[in-house]
Amino acid sequence: MGNYLGFYYGSATYSILMAVLILWSIPWKGAALWRAAKKGQTVWFIVFLILNTVGLLEILYIFIFSKMRDMEAQSQNKNWLVKLWDKILAILGIKKNQA
């Protein structure tokens, strides 16, 4: 049996860890794939199909990147980096004058 990060393949701990990771990532991947398909973002859809980031990239896409186009339509004069920063501050609940 192989050793990976102190877990032996086939051990109960390894099996539980893999089950938890799979159960965590499937809903995020499904939501991200659905949103990318709905918005017609083929590149994002293909990236989610190929890469497995245990839900991290999917979460970033759902809460930040998929909304960037919507923010562009609302405010054409801001650049994308300022919009991204504003979105991160909004998610964290920090007002602009506090940052």
Burial 14-50 (b: 16+ CB within 10 A, else e): beeeeeeeeeebeebbebbbebbeeeebeebbebbee
Domain ranges in the chain are: 3-98
pTM of this structure: 0.60
**Residue that wins the pLDDT comparison between 9 and 27:** 27
The predicted structure's pLDDT at residue 99 = 46
> pLDDT at residue 29 above 90?
yes
Phi, psi of 7 (to 5 degrees): -105, 135
pLDDT in tens, 42-98: 898 999 999 988 899 999 998 988 887 666 555 555 576 777 788 888 888 887 765
